[in-house]
Amino acid sequence: MKLKTVALGATAFALSAGMAHADFPERALSIMVPFAAGGGADVPARFLAEQLERELGQSVIVTNVVGAGGTVGATQLSTAEANGYNIGFMPVGTTTTQPHLRGTSYNDESFIPICMVASGPFYLVVNPNGDIDSWDDFASQATGDGITFTGAAPGSLAHVTSVAIGAMLDTEIGYLPTSGGGEAVNEVMGGRADATAWFSDYDVRFGLKALAIFAPERSDIHPDVPTSGELGHPADIAVWMGLFAPAGTPDDVVTVLDIACEVAVKSDAFRANMDQANREIRHLNADDFDAFFHEAYRQNGELLRNAGLVAN
């Protein structure tokens, strides 16, 4: 009952947000995900789309635009008509690291953050039937015959994670780029790569084995998985993702989407789906997400420069 009251209030506020776009939305919306279907960003995007349809009263269609670490889709979104009907569900790597690494045509001023939806730490995961059964096994192979790490395109957070692990162990980690997280998991399970970085649903979705979590504390979801700090290499590597609109999208339209997103994220159905998928919710509204996003863009650019991945 309480949720229904919030939803009705959100709808009323949204309809009064501005006269110029008071009837928004009047047709179907498109959420662009810049990675393959079934990947790390695609799953919560589809959960969110289902609830946004209920709040907005229009179809919300998820489209996958794959390529170049998410930059193909992000570039398309940055040049899309800024009318609120074209929005994207994008993660930290695509929005805050790839522009620095690739010199993309888009940057942090190309988008309007609408809402953060999810954030979760990365786990170091391997094939449970492989030869690597512990962090010590991983470290021994990395400094011996070598490790092949896999993930989305160079510049993705998975790639940055592999670089960080190499620094931890004072060795070079090989990297096999893929079109997205789902393909990376296939490479690990098929024996073509030794490890990747994944979210907390690594077990329920793929049957992978976690060696460590890159977070300050152990997770309530997997309390038996040690932190990298416990293993002598403290790190805090989390993947966040959320909704963005092209720069120039009218403020009143962004307000409608922001409020609908908040109600959707707080809905019982969204929370149940995320819990079942072992995914962690973190909501920030448009104002808070805007400040967070621009600071993350700045910090990640500095991190990449200090790591020697981009020129100063």
Same domain, 9 and 88: yes
The total domain count for the chain is 2
Same domain for 180 and 155 = yes
Q: Are residues 127 and 189 in the same domain?
A: yes
CATH code for position 98: 3.40.190.150
Model confidence at 211: pLDDT above 70:
yes
Q: Would residue 224 count as lying in a domain?
A: no
pLDDT at 217 over 50: yes
**pTM surpassing 0.85?**
no
Judge whether 157 lies within some domain: yes
CB 93 within 8 A of CB 70: yes
d(CA 36, CA 180): 6
pLDDT in tens, 131-152: 999 999 999 999 999 999 999 8
The partner residues of 118 in beta bridges, in order of sequence, read 241, 281
Domain presence at residue 232 = no
| CATH code of the domain in which 136 resides | 3.40.190.10
Band (9; pLDDT cuts 50, 70, 90): very low
Asked whether residue 115 falls in the same domain as residue 127, the answer is no
Answer for the pair 228, 214: CB distance below 8 angstroms, yes or no. Answer: yes
Residue type (1 letter), 109: E
pLDDT in tens, 287-305: 999 999 999 899 888 878 8
- How many of the other CB atoms lie within 10 Å of CB of 57? 11
Structural domain including 41 reads 2-120+240-306
pLDDT tens-digit readout, 56-77: 999 999 999 998 889 999 999 9
Does 22 reside within a domain? yes
Q: What is the pLDDT of residue 18?
A: 42
186 shares a domain with 115: no
> What local confidence, expressed as pLDDT, does residue 21 receive?
55
Residues 167 and 89 in one domain: no
Does residue 229 belong to any structural domain of this protein? Answer: no
Q: How far apart are CA 309 and CA 303, in angstroms?
A: 9
Residues 110 and 128 in one domain: no
Whole-number average pLDDT of the chain: 89
Q: Do residues 88 and 195 both lie within one domain? A: no
Whether 67 is in a domain gets the answer yes
3-state secondary structure 138-197: HHHHHCCCCCEEEEECCCCHHHHHHHHHHHHHCCCCEEEEECCHHHHHHHHHCCCCCEEE
In contact, 124 and 195? CB cutoff 8 Å: yes
* 181 and 71 co-located in one domain: no
Q: What is the mean pLDDT of residues 125-135?
A: 97
Q: Is the same domain home to 106 and 244?
A: yes
**In a domain? residue 222:** no
Whether 269 maps to a domain, the answer reads yes
More confident residue, 19 or 101: 101
